[in-house]
């Protein structure tokens, strides 16, 4: 069984190797945890099928990418008491310090380059406009990413760097929830802006971002221009060589006041699944006393963890497989594919005021919840088992953990990819083995050998000591008196 599997992998890899002219190859490919997340040998994955409709092509998205630039120090030891004293208040936003909130606002680790190298092909930006014209990022009520850490220009440059290093991969930048330092009124004005075909009016925020993208040589389009395209159409639009760059990169949003997301977000308020809640059902969510005994949490992986996981699984399945609907409060793919050229599966724990309080009381962080609950691994398993009818944008927290496995499984789903055009179809879906994921990483063989050697040596030493001890005993009575400086003690 194992041997045939190995032979199969070897064969499929040789198929890839004969035609590697255009396949994606991740570099570096040194660590075994990286290599094991790919289903083909040596960190290879085939290219996206250029004839695929763009809204059927699958992209891993790093949820709120810019928070990867937040450097969070360790949880303060006394945070628990800080938080629980405010636990009954409604004004959690004002009472808990920003530093603590950041523990639940940081959804990613590492730069844009890192996230793309960890499997993301779509980046999720929440821009914030400052009065002096700077553009930074925020995560809703939770935090601002400091301008000193990253701004839009710096972010784009970092993405361009990856695109130049990986010039066959299509990368999408999505915006949503644009805010202004001084509030929404400041966004409602329009600006007269120069375009390729003359002049046009744009909302202030769009006009300012357009200038940044123009300067960086990266195309930035309104959503409707992406409707009804194939992957190859989108790649022509995204081709950076037209602007003197290299690779395929495209930024999109609705070009409205809020730079809204170009797709159905599948964020249904009354069905959200957070990692921590005060109890299992929504009615008790409002209970005033946050008693640690009644918490339901995602991190234990057994009792309440199973309950939470099932709820999240139902949520993501509904997002992909429900009857199509354009109602923002209904989960499911869109019917209007012109208005929604993409749709999203939110494969992560949602965050609300209660869940942040409860999580902090447990001394946890969003990234810790993500790791302990192994939610990314669960999402990869579902995708591998073909549980989603169709995947467009699959969004994850912490892509650094098993993001490559999701990338590999989505790219290797049947119909997604080709090798040098249509005739050459690589093995796909369950014909490939499931990626090995990071939390379940078995010890490498070298370690087993090392452990054998160490224990073997120890056993040998003990044996020799016993042997010598018995040998001494057999030599008869010894003189046990101590001699010190020539005198008998
Ligand atoms: C928490 O610890 C920090 C650093 O030791 C200290 O400055 C702060 O006053 C403490 N806060 C509380 C509420 O005890
Ligand atoms: C713009 O304003 C923000 C917030 O006040 C500040 O942090 C940033 O340094 C300013 N940028 C420039 C270029 O002055």
* Å from CA of 371 to ligand 1 middle: 28
Question: In the chain, how many H helices and how many E strands?
Answer: 15, 22
Assign 222 to helix, strand or coil.
Answer: strand
Task: Calculate the alpha carbon distances from 182 to 134, 188, 198 in Å.
Answer: 13, 12, 31
* Distance in angstroms (rounded) separating the CA atoms of residues 312 and 302: 15
Distance 103 CA to ligand 2 centre (A): 24
Position 480 scores a pLDDT of 53
Structure confidence at residue 475 (pLDDT):
65
Q: Is a pLDDT exceeding 50 seen at residue 110?
A: yes
Q: What does pTM read for this prediction? A: 0.80
98 or 160: which carries more pLDDT confidence? 160
Does residue 136 contact residue 154 with C-beta atoms inside 8 Å? no
Tokens 């630039």 — which residue? Answer: 69
Looking at residue 92, what is its pLDDT? 39
Between 8 and 428, residue with greater pLDDT: 428
- Banded pLDDT at 425 (limits 50, 70, 90): confident
Q: State whether the beta carbon of 130 lies less than 6 angstroms from ligand 2.
A: yes
Mean pLDDT of the chain: 85
Closest listed ligand to the CA of 76: 1
> For residue 61, is the peptide bond before it cis, meaning its omega torsion is within 30 degrees of 0?
no
Find all residues with CB under 8 Å of 484, minimum gap 6, and list them: none
Measure the CA–CA gap between 211 and 2, rounded to whole angstroms. 56
The torsion of the CA quartet 151, 194, 227, 61, rounded to 10 degrees, works out to -10
Q: With a cut of 80, say whether residue 391 has pLDDT above it.
A: yes
188 touches 202 (CB < 8 A)? no
- 325 contacts 334 by C-beta, under 8 angstroms: yes
**Does 472 have pLDDT greater than 80?**
no
pLDDT band at 450 (very low <50, low <70, confident <90, very high): confident
H/E element, 206? helix 204-216
Under a CB-based contact definition with an 8 Å cutoff, are residues 291 and 277 in contact? no
Please determine, for residue 86, whether its predicted confidence score (pLDDT) is greater than 50. no
Q: Percentage of residues in the chain with pLDDT exceeding 70?
A: 80
pLDDT tops 60 at residue 437:
yes
Pocket residues for ligand 1 (CB within 6 Å)?
Answer: 76, 78, 82
The token pair at 471 is 């040998």
What confidence score (pLDDT) does residue 1 get? Answer: 44
Identify any residues that bridge with 396 across adjacent strands, giving them in sequence order: 62
132 lines ligand 2 (CB under 6 A): yes
Lowest mean pLDDT among 90-104, 173-187, 236-250: 90-104
Tokens 């990869």 map to which residue? 380
Ligand 2 in contact with 149 (CB < 6 A)?
no
Among the listed residues 430, 436, 378, the one whose alpha carbon sits nearest the alpha carbon of residue 405: 436
Q: Which residues contact 227 (CB under 8 A, 6 or more apart)?
A: 337, 338, 339, 341
- Rounded to the nearest whole angstrom, what is the distance from the C-alpha of residue 217 to the centroid of ligand 2? 24
Lowest mean pLDDT among 33-47, 222-236, 388-402, 451-465: 451-465
Q: Which residues pair with 310 in a beta bridge?
A: none
From the list 202, 297, 215, the residue with the least C-alpha distance to 253 is 202
For residue range 41-74, what is the model confidence (pLDDT) as tens digits? Answer: 999 999 999 999 999 999 999 999 999 998 744 3
Q: Between the ranges 104-108, 219-223, 474-478, where is the mean pLDDT highest?
A: 219-223
Q: Which two tokens stand for residue 469?
A: 């001890």
Q: What is the pLDDT of residues 212-255, one digit of tens each?
A: 999 999 999 999 999 999 999 999 999 999 999 999 999 999 99
């Amino acid at each position: 069984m194992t041997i045939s599997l190995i032979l199969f992998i070897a064969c499929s890899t040789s198929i890839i190797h004969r035609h590697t002219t255009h396949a994606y190859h991740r570099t570096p490919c040194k660590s075994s945890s990286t290599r094991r997340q790919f289903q083909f040998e040596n960190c290879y994955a085939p290219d996206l099928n250029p004839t695929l409709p763009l809204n059927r092509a699958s992209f891993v998205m790093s949820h709120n990418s810019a928070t990867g630039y937040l450097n969070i120090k360790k949880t303060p030891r006394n945070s628990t008491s800080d938080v629980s004293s405010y636990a009954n208040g409604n004004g959690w936003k004002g009472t808990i310090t920003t530093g603590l909130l950041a523990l639940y606002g940081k959804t990613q680790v590492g730069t844009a380059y890192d996230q793309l190298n960890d499997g993301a092909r779509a980046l999720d930006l929440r821009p914030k406009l400052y009065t002096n014209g700077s553009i930074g990022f925020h995560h809703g009520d939770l935090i601002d990413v400091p301008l000193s850490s990253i701004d839009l220009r710096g972010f784009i440059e970092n993405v361009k760097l990856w695109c130049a290093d990986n010039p066959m991969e299509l990368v999408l930048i999505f915006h949503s929830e644009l805010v202004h330092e001084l509030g929404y009124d400041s966004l409602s004005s329009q600006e007269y802006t120069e375009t390729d075909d003359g002049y046009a009016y744009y909302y202030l925020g769009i006009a300012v971002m357009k200038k940044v993208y123009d300067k960086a040589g990266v195309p930035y389009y309104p959503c409707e221009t992406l409707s009804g395209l194939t992957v190859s159409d989108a790649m022509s639009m995204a081709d950076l060589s037209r602007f003197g760059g290299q690779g395929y990169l495209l930024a999109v949003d609705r070009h409205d006041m809020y730079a809204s997301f170009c797709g159905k977000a599948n964020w249904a308020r009354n069905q959200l699944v957070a990692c921590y809640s005060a109890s299992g059902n929504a009615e008790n969510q409002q209970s005033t006393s946050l008693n640690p005994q009644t918490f339901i949490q995602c991190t234990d992986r057994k009792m309440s963890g199973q309950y939470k996981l099932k709820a999240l699984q139902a949520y993501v399945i509904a997002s992909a497989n429900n009857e199509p609907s354009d109602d923002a409060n209904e989960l499911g793919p869109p019917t209007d594919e012109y208005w929604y050229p993409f749709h999203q599966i939110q494969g992560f724990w949602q965050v609300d005021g209660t869940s942040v309080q409860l999580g902090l009381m447990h001394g946890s962080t969003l990234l810790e919840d993500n790791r302990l609950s192994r939610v990314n691994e669960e999402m990869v398993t579902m995708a591998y088992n073909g549980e989603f009818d169709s995947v467009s944008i699959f969004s994850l927290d912490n892509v650094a953990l098993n993001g490559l496995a999701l990338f590999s499984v989505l790219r290797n789903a049947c119909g997604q990819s080709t090798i040098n055009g249509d005739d050459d179809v690589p093995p796909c879906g369950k014909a490939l083995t499931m990626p090995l994921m990071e939390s379940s990483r078995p010890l490498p063989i070298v370690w087993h050998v090392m452990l054998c050697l160490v224990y073997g040596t120890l056993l040998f030493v003990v044996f020799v000591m016993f042997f010598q001890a018995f040998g001494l005993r057999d030599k008869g009575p010894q003189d046990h008196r101590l001699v010190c400086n020539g005198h008998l003690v």
